[in-house]
Amino acid sequence: MADRPRAAQRLETNWLKSWLTERTSITPEHLDHIPAGKLDEPGILIEIMASPPGGEPQPFRILIDGTHRAARKLLDHQDYWAFMLTEAEQYSICTYRLEGRVAELPSFPGPGITDREAGVFLSLATESNVA
């Protein structure tokens, strides 16, 4: 991500509460041991399309890094931010499993998360070419 700087996105509080209580597990004892200098580090977020069998695919976000920092920020009544990965970045680091075996993630037509949606900053050369 250092090679492709981007703006972090504020995670909506209700989504974050739901994610933390329904989709992940937190070690409460760990929350007070997070170094103060690490608390403001944004998490990492991906978005996939998902649905129950026969259902209409809907965007589904997954916080893949920063869960404990997010929980601590929520307890402290503070906003939490995360970097969104592009489709290409997500595919380069994520492994998908089906019934315990590595599997190809089914894909849907479309570009997935683009640089713009991920908040990737355009280079000066690109910006001057656009103007």
SS3 21: helix
The pTM assigned to this predicted structure is 0.82
Judge whether 84 lies within some domain. yes
What pLDDT, in 10s, does the model give residues 56-100? Answer: 888 899 999 999 999 999 999 999 999 999 988 988 888 888 899
Distance separating alpha carbons of residues 99 and 34, to the nearest angstrom: 34
What pLDDT, in 10s, does the model give residues 38-57? Answer: 999 999 999 988 888 888 88
Per the structure, the complete domain to which residue 54 belongs is given by 9-130
Judge whether 118 lies within some domain. yes
pLDDT confidence tier of residue 123, bands split at 50, 70 and 90: low
- C-alpha dist (Å) from residue 18 to 21, 25, 27, 41: 5, 12, 16, 21
Judge whether 3 lies within some domain. no
3 state SS for 24-38: CCCCHHHHCCCCHHH
Judge whether 109 lies within some domain. yes
Judge whether 43 lies within some domain. yes
Judge whether 2 lies within some domain. no
Judge whether 89 lies within some domain. yes
Q: Which two tokens stand for residue 75?
A: 């307890």
Number of domains in the chain: 1
